[in-house]
């Protein structure tokens, strides 16, 4: 009989769980045959690796399918056996697990940046819709780290760094302390071998002393418990090398200052017993004030629960005591995996289907207990379907909103990449530009070197991110003025037709001119161009255009009645006594909804609206020449239109300032009409922006957001539009 198989079978037996041993043996047989002739670098037959991974999975207490998948995890990638055969022989669940592990294996973990590592960890979790895939991958990595000495030195460093940055934190987040500690120690041994050896020597040096101490404490505690009829388990534990490393090297503390290098762990059956024992311990030995932590009532974010206290023993040496129940102990050691260990024994396989429910439940509980920790938030985002993580060919992770396309991807890389994009490869295959990106895919943008190439207008409909759409619009605005005008003309014609606006040719241009003026454009071409590149949405301005048209088609004289009886709105403004009159927001003071306003009846342009404190109002209100032409006006309740507002920003001049301001506006979906910046003598910069806002409160929020931008000294409204 095969010794590997014997080892597996023995472990299965010892676990005492109802495993399908025959199926596991069959998986071993398939792995054995498939990897026949392949060797590990260590000189062992290749199959030793999947066997070792399977043994770790059994230790974690996972189910039959996970063990089978662990045995087969490298078969699809490294041998001719296809996934379909695995599915046929072991069922779709196993096939999904193997496929998941294989896909994760193809992720190029090349970047070193912290953010990158975090993205990869998130991606691993979100990719693995089944958390067992991540657990098998962790076991795979653990065995590879255990055997890393046979790898070339350069690979050792890269793999260790990757393990430290991606896999150990992942194990930590899932609460699997056993794997996390071992991964960290194995990585540290290669990343900082000097420190590792130093700590190891120091620990070894005090080993006898420590063991004597722990023995002594254990016996004192046991002695005390003899009279109590409790089922108490006491063990000594030493902090992991990396744990000590973090406290000594990174927090700059001497080893003597670390209280929890040695700890005594007391495991009992119930929560009540935990607190009773705490009392006994404090009675027995003097506690150090401020060192007691109740992680039972307030669990750590990764589900850890225990009571911690630090006491001073007879010898005057402080040490930590951890008190917990068996269930808490298993959760502390195996984290999320403890779920299988418990549930499998009780009610069998059907429990596995609700595994994600369990995570959700856990999150619910955690939220109630401790909302402040980032675990909840991060695991929530991990499992949230609203983000995808994809790769550049170099292995950088790019995060995008769900349903993003290659166009969105290209514009995140760089505007120039987007503008010159002609196609995209996803995982090496050409895909259409509206292809929906999925987490884990590698995206390669195909570009042309021709500088005249640009985006297509259709991309505006395909792109999902505002960033991509803004950049596409900006390109059209800048590069295609003539084209934009033609496009704008055709768009406005279509929209006129749709709205039943029929104007004789002779009056047509004049009408469009007046519309452009109403939209505060200096000339009609600019207005048409803005429509063309999408800077102006016709659907937004059409209601007003229609109003104007009706007035032209059915002209009426503006008359001011003697008695004001009725109120009607026009363009978001109520003019007392006048029905459907043309209203024009004056450009001298750009009033906004919420501002106190005055109306002035012009000759031929309807009523112009000014701020109450506009110099034009102050100067002319009492002027006899204009008697009777000032009318009372108010803002309508719901102003559906947007308004131009001028802003003046004074800031210390710095690189990227303007970009920060404009991207802030883009984030708020606020359109910018004009930007004018100049350097002041004092080294400060003065920036005038004209923006489209819907209300005073929106403008105020822009002002307050601007004020928080780095370097900004003053933000104010400016009537003066430059």
Contact between residue 69 and residue 138 where contact means Cβ atoms under 8 Å apart: no
Catalytic site residue 371? no
Choices 140-148, 162-170, 204-212, 637-645; region in contact with Mn ion by CB under 5 A: 140-148
Choices 68-76, 334-342, 628-636, 688-696; region in contact with Mn ion by CB under 5 A: 68-76
Spatial separation of the C-alpha atoms in residues 698 and 702, rounded to whole Å: 6
Judged by beta carbon, residue 54 or residue 199, the one nearer Mn ion is 54
SS (H, E, C) 132-156: HHHHHHHHHHHHHHHCHHHCCHHHH
Spatial separation of the C-alpha atoms in residues 497 and 593, rounded to whole Å: 31
By the rule CB under 5 A, 75 interacts with Mn ion: no
End-to-end CA distance of the chain: 89
Write down the least CB distance from residue 131 to Mn ion, Å: 18
Contact between residue 426 and residue 446 where contact means Cβ atoms under 8 Å apart: no
Write down the least CB distance from residue 46 to Mn ion, Å: 9
By the rule CB under 5 A, 137 interacts with Mn ion: no
Judged by beta carbon, residue 168 or residue 645, the one nearer Mn ion is 168
By the rule CB under 5 A, 140 interacts with Mn ion: yes
Catalytic residue among 6, 77, 149, 235: 77
Judged by beta carbon, residue 74 or residue 441, the one nearer Mn ion is 74
Spatial separation of the C-alpha atoms in residues 585 and 284, rounded to whole Å: 83
Contact between residue 117 and residue 165 where contact means Cβ atoms under 8 Å apart: yes
Judged by beta carbon, residue 140 or residue 598, the one nearer Mn ion is 140
- Locate 86 and state its tokens: 């695995």
Write down the least CB distance from residue 456 to Mn ion, Å: 44
Choices 137-145, 422-430, 469-477, 593-601; region in contact with Mn ion by CB under 5 A: 137-145
Spatial separation of the C-alpha atoms in residues 353 and 343, rounded to whole Å: 11
Choices 132-140, 209-217, 251-259, 595-603; region in contact with Mn ion by CB under 5 A: 132-140
By the rule CB under 5 A, 408 interacts with Mn ion: no
Give the H or E element holding residue 524: helix 524-533
Write down the least CB distance from residue 42 to Mn ion, Å: 14
Spatial separation of the C-alpha atoms in residues 684 and 671, rounded to whole Å: 25
For residue 654, which of 684, 630, 612 has the smallest C-alpha distance?
684
Choices 136-144, 273-281, 429-437, 594-602; region in contact with Mn ion by CB under 5 A: 136-144
Spatial separation of the C-alpha atoms in residues 130 and 119, rounded to whole Å: 18
Count of alpha carbons within 13 angstroms of residue 23, beta-carbon side? 18
Spatial separation of the C-alpha atoms in residues 478 and 473, rounded to whole Å: 9
- Total residues contacting Mn ion by CB under 5 A comes to 2
Write down the least CB distance from residue 444 to Mn ion, Å: 27
CA 544 to chain centre: 41
Catalytic residue among 2, 7, 44, 78: 78
Query: Within 198-217, which residues bind Mn ion (CB under 5 A)?
Result: none
Choices 139-147, 406-414, 544-552, 707-715; region in contact with Mn ion by CB under 5 A: 139-147
How distant, in Å, are the alpha carbons of 347, 587, 614, 691 from that of 694? 60, 16, 20, 10
Spatial CB neighbours of 616, under 8 Å, sequence gap ≥ 6: 586, 588, 589, 610
Write down the least CB distance from residue 73 to Mn ion, Å: 6
How distant, in Å, are the alpha carbons of 215, 220, 231, 286, 294 from that of 225? 15, 9, 9, 18, 22
- Locate 136 and state its tokens: 């098998």
Write down the least CB distance from residue 101 to Mn ion, Å: 8
Judged by beta carbon, residue 147 or residue 662, the one nearer Mn ion is 147
By the rule CB under 5 A, 74 interacts with Mn ion: yes
Spatial CB neighbours of 284, under 8 Å, sequence gap ≥ 6: 220, 221, 224, 311
Judged by beta carbon, residue 148 or residue 359, the one nearer Mn ion is 148
Judged by beta carbon, residue 98 or residue 501, the one nearer Mn ion is 98
Write down the least CB distance from residue 53 to Mn ion, Å: 6
Catalytic site residue 77? yes
Write down the least CB distance from residue 85 to Mn ion, Å: 19
Judged by beta carbon, residue 74 or residue 182, the one nearer Mn ion is 74
By the rule CB under 5 A, 107 interacts with Mn ion: no
By the rule CB under 5 A, 181 interacts with Mn ion: no
Which residues form the interface with Mn ion (CB under 5 A)? 74, 140
- Catalytic residues, by residue number, are 77-78
């Amino acid at each position: 009989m095969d010794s590997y198989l014997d080892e597996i079978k023995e472990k299965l037996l010892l676990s005492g769980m109802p495993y399908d041993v025959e199926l596991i043996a069959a998986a071993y047989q398939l792995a054995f045959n498939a990897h026949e002739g392949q060797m590990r670098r260590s000189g062992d037959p290749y199959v030793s690796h999947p066997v070792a991974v399977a043994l770790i999975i059994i230790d974690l207490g996972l189910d039959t399918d996970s063990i089978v998948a662990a045995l087969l995890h490298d078969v699809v990638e490294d041998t001719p056996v296809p996934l379909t055969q695995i599915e046929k022989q072991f069922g779709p669940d196993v096939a999904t697990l193997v496929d998941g592990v294989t896909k994760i294996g193809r992720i190029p973990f090349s970047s070193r940046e912290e953010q990158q590592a975090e993205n990869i960890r998130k991606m691993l979790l979100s990719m693995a819709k089944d958390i067992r895939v991540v657990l098998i991958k962790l076991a795979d990595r653990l065995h590879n780290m255990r055997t890393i000495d046979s790898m070339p030195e350069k690979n050792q460093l890269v793999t260790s760094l990757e393990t430290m940055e991606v896999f150990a934190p992942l194990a930590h987040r899932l609460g699997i302390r056993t794997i996390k500690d071992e991964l960290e120690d194995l990585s540290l041994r290669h990343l900082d071998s000097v420190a590792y050896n130093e700590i190891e020597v120091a620990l070894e040096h005090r080993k006898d002393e420590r063991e004597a101490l722990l023995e002594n404490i254990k016996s004192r505690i046991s002695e005390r418990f003899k009279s109590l009829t409790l089922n108490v388990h006491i063990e000594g534990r030493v902090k992991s090398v990396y744990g000590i490393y973090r406290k000594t090297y990174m927090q700059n503390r001497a080893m003597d200052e670390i209280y929890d290098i040695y700890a005594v762990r007391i495991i009992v059956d119930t929560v009540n017993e935990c607190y009773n024992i705490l009392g006994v311990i404090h009675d027995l030995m003097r506690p150090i004030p401020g060192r007691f932590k109740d992680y039972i009532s307030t669990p750590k974010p990764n589900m850890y629960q225990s009571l911690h206290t630090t006491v001073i023993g007879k010898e005057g040496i402080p040490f930590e005591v951890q008190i917990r129940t068996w269930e808490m102990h298993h959760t502390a050691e195996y984290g999320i995996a403890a779920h299988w260990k418990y549930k499998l024994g009780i009610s069998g396989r059907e429990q596995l289907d609700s595994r994600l429910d369990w995570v959700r439940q856990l999150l619910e509980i955690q939220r109630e207990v401790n909302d402040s920790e980032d675990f909840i938030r991060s695991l929530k985002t991990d499992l949230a379907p609203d983000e995808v993580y994809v790769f550049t060919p170099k292995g950088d992770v790019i995060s995008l909103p769900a349903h993003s396309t290659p166009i969105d991807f290209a514009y995140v890389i760089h505007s120039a990449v987007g503008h010159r994009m002609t196609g995209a490869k996803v995982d090496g295959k050409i895909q259409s530009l509206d292809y929906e990106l999925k987490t884990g895919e590698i995206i390669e943008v195909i570009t042309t070197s021709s500088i005249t190439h640009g985006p297509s207008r259709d991309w505006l409909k395909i792109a999902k991110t505002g960033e991509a759409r803004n950049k596409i619009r900006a390109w059209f605005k800048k590069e295609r003025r003539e084209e934009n005008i033609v496009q704008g003309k055709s768009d406005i014609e279509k929209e006129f037709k749709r709205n039943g606006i029929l104007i004789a040719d002779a009056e047509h241009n004049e009408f469009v001119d007046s519309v452009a003026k109403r939209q505060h454009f200096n000339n009609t071409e600019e207005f048409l161009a803005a429509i063309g590149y999408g800077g102006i949405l016709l659907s937004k301005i059409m209601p007003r255009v229609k109003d104007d048209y009706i007035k032209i088609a059915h002209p009426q004289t503006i008359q001011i009645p003697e008695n004001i009886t009725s109120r009607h709105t026009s363009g978001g403004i109520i003019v007392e006594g006048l029905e459907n009159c043309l209203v024009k927001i004056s450009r001298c003071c750009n009033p906004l909804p919420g501002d106190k306003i005055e109306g002035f009846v012009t000759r031929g342009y309807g009523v112009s609206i000014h701020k109450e404190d506009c110099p034009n109002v102050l100067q002319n209100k009492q002027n006899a020449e204009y008697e009777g032409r000032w009318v009372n006006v108010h803002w309508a309740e719901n102003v559906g239109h947007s308004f131009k507002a001028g802003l003046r920003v004074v800031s210390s001049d710095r690189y990227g300032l303007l970009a920060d301001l404009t991207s802030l506006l883009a984030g708020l979906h606020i359109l910018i009409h004009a930007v004018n910046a100049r350097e002041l003598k004092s080294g400060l910069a003065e920036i005038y922006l004209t923006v489209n806002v819907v209300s005073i409160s929106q403008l105020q929020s822009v002002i307050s957001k601007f004020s928080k931008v780095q370097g900004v000294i003053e933000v104010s409204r400016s009537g003066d539009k430059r």
